Homo-oligomer: A and B are copies of this chain.
Amino acid sequence: MSKQLPLVETDTCCSPLAREPLTEPQSVELSKLFKAMADPVRLRLLSLIASHTGGEACVCDLTDAFDLTGPTISHHLKVLRESGLITGERRGTWVYYRVHPEVLARLSAVLVPGDAVVPA
């Protein structure tokens, strides 16, 4: 349950896209993260985990918000985990999920509009 993609690329990536163009490898790496977020259920899961008390949520805290089966929720959590957006740690019966705040922070920084795009 602890499989994670290495975060090396996102650790060094990137300047705000309004400041300088992304390189091809940067765009490939970032597109994987945006793809993981390109689904309403995964976005809500991400927000439920990130905003949960202590920044950590058990799958038992997440299922009530959705009219979906456990396996479907688990599938979406797996996609988020494998993208590197969240981490999952088994403690006893449950897996506890946390976001990687540094990954969110880098995505946020990449999207900050630069001077070049601020309307006059």
Residues of A within 8 A of B (CB): 17-22, 24, 27-28, 30-31, 34-35, 37-44, 46-48, 50-55, 65, 98-99, 101-102, 104-105, 107-114, 116-119
Stoichiometry, as copies per complex, reads 2
Contact yes or no, A50 B114, CB < 8 A: yes
Chain A interface SS verdict (over half): helix
Assembly CA distance A66 to B94 (angstroms)? 46
Contact yes or no, B40 A27, CB < 8 A: yes
Contact yes or no, B18 A50, CB < 8 A: yes
Contact yes or no, B47 A22, CB < 8 A: yes
- How distant is A76 from chain B, measured CB to nearest CB, in Å? 12
In the A-B complex, the 10 residue pairs with the smallest Cβ-Cβ separation, listed nearest first, are: A17-B47, A101-B113, A35-B38, A18-B50, A108-B111, A27-B40, A55-B117, A27-B43, A101-B117, A34-B37
Contact yes or no, A40 B55, CB < 8 A: no
Assembly CA distance A44 to B25 (angstroms)? 10
> 21 A-B contacts, Cβ less than 8 Å apart?
A17-B50, A18-B47, A18-B99, A21-B65, A22-B43, A22-B44, A24-B40, A30-B43, A31-B38, A31-B40, A34-B34, A50-B113, A50-B116, A51-B116, A53-B116, A99-B117, A104-B112, A104-B113, A105-B112, A107-B111, A108-B113
